[in-house]
Structure 1
Amino acid sequence: MTTLPSAKALWSSIVSTHNPIAIDLAGTLLIQLLFWWLPCTLFLSLDTLLPRFSALHKLQPAPKQPTTADILHSIRICLRNQLLVLVLHSLLLLCTSSSSSSRAPAIRIDPDFPSGREFSTHILISILLRELLFYTAHRILHHPPLYRRFHKTHHRFTAPVAFASQYAHPVEHIAANVLPILIPPMLLGAHILTMWAFLAMQLVETSTVHSGYDFFGGAARKHDRHHERFDVYFGGIGLLDWALGTDERDGEERRKRE
């Protein structure tokens, strides 16, 4: 019963005693650690911790699996991309804070929690907007000249692993991974706690669909098909894939013909 009031008091104390830029940067890094690095590490550890379970649920056979060197290379590229985003994020916050504009910040850091109604509404709208932005950016990146220049990097992993979820050319990482998550909460003027919750959801989703395991209702299976076929499953939640016919509705028949 006292958990929520205590959490509210703690949050209010943090906001009143810390610089907003420090709160934004530190909180976002913590979300990355807990909801991307930790799940990716757990997925990668299944081979060692639960080898029989891992073998039973892996989508791709052993010969197709990336090598240890491939995975380490992927981790280095992910670190580079995250460092790039951290630098850009810091510059954006510094420019915004030094601006003479009287406009309210795009993401609010209020001492109060967002209301339940605001939180749920902003999360739902953000999910839908992110799907639109990500699907569009992803389809554009499959245009042959852009694919060869940018998106081919990500498709190096024909049998994806969780750490491949942020393995991308820097331009793709910003345009297709970061902006579709950042723009919706900014347009809504969302509370930073809402923004962090939305970011956490998207990080878990992307690490899961790239995990190479058949967990969570076939989400990873669908993304594996994208890495195999290149012309299906461009979205995240599947809404636009269903609406625009890129969801392999006749998947079984197609597989038989291949």
Structure 2
Amino acid sequence: MASLSLMDAFADFWATTLATYGPRRVEIFGFLLVQTLSFWVPSAIYIALPWIAPQFSERHKIQPAPKQPTAADIRHCALIVVRNNAMATALTVGLSLLAGDPADQANKLLGMRIEAKLPTLAEFARDFILCCVGREIMFYYSHRLLHQPRFYRTIHKTHHKFIAPVALAAQYAHPIEHLLANMLPIGLPPLLLHAHVLTYWPFMAFMLVETATVHSGYDFFDGAAKMHDLHHEKFNLNYGAFGFMDYFHGTNTLKRKRVD
């Protein structure tokens, strides 16, 4: 009964918010809020761990101190991430304006629903899982493409400046890479599914926390960061985030070089 009352209260709050501020303002503000709370805050905590909890940090840090980026590297990284966030926000605003009436998105090829009616639990779970699968597939293939020599030298090498990554380095990327490998794999699946914005935001938050964590350089989440940390060190394995695409393509292990 209490949970039902809580859902009713949230439904009333959501409907009132949409009626007061309009779908577009809510969409943009929500995007910025999720970006801040799910990426910048966790990244700041991970980066500050050596000062907040030095013994804990030392115990769980994957790579040794000599390989860690300097304070100047991290400041430069933050500036690039701000630029990429600004690009993502501009694209979100532009797409929102081009999309037209938010109540009519289900009748278009691409569209996200921003409506007072809440998604059902079954719809939320279905779209959330499908978005995660879609993101993994898109990220895996775009990431592997960026490792082709012609694209690696001109685009992806920027991201691999951090051999021992830190959380903010998850979005330290060339603008083309940020669009193809970071933004589209997260933004396109909800648009294709016509997902509710209240499904998109938790999905986006989960992806941002995940990417900050796997770039954090810490192994305390059951080795979640080790796979991607090894990718930054060795370059030619673990292209995906969750691992099932790497398992399918056999890129989850480091191949030995053939000796003739």
Superposition TM-score tier, normalisation by shorter sequence: over 0.9
Is 1:111 aligned with 2:140?
Answer: no
Deviation at 1:39, TM superposition (A): 0.3
Query: Residue deviations 1:180-236, cap 9 Å, x none?
Result: 011111100000000001100100000000000002121111101000111100001
2:238 alignment partner in structure 1: 233
Code of the residue aligned with 2:210 in structure 1: it is E
Which residue, out of 77, 80, 83, partners 2:80? 77
1:16 alignment partner in structure 2: 19
Deviation at 1:75, TM superposition (A): 0.4
For 1:98 and 1:213, the matched residues in 2 are separated by 44
| TM-score, L = length of structure 1 | 0.93
Map 1:52-63; keep pairs closer than 5 Å: 52-63=55-66
Code of the residue aligned with 2:83 in structure 1: it is R
Q: Is the 8 A contact 2:99 2:111 kept in 1?
A: no
2:251 alignment partner in structure 1: 246
2:51 alignment partner in structure 1: 48
For 1:51 and 1:36, the matched residues in 2 are separated by 22
Q: Which runs of 5+ in 2 are unaligned?
A: none
For 1:191 and 1:96, the matched residues in 2 are separated by 14
Code of the residue aligned with 1:234 in structure 2: it is Y
Deviation at 1:6, TM superposition (A): 1.2
Structure 2 counterpart SS, 1:165 = helix
For 1:79 and 1:66, the matched residues in 2 are separated by 18
2:92 alignment partner in structure 1: 89
1:165 alignment partner in structure 2: 170
Q: Is the 8 A contact 2:34 2:201 kept in 1?
A: yes
Q: Which runs of 5+ in 1 are unaligned?
A: none
Code of the residue aligned with 2:98 in structure 1: it is C
Deviation at 1:87, TM superposition (A): 1.1
Deviation at 1:16, TM superposition (A): 1.7
Deviation at 1:98, TM superposition (A): 7.8
CA RMSD of aligned residues (A): 1.7
Code of the residue aligned with 1:128 in structure 2: it is V
Instruction: Give runs of ≥4 in structure 1 deviating > 3 Å.
Output: 101-105
For 1:91 and 1:126, the matched residues in 2 are separated by 22
For 2:146 and 2:183, the matched residues in 1 are separated by 15
Map 1:56-205; keep pairs closer than 5 Å: 56-97=59-100, 103=107, 106-205=111-210
Q: Is the 8 A contact 2:23 2:115 kept in 1?
A: no
| TM-score, L = length of structure 2 | 0.92
Deviation at 1:89, TM superposition (A): 1.4
Code of the residue aligned with 2:242 in structure 1: it is I
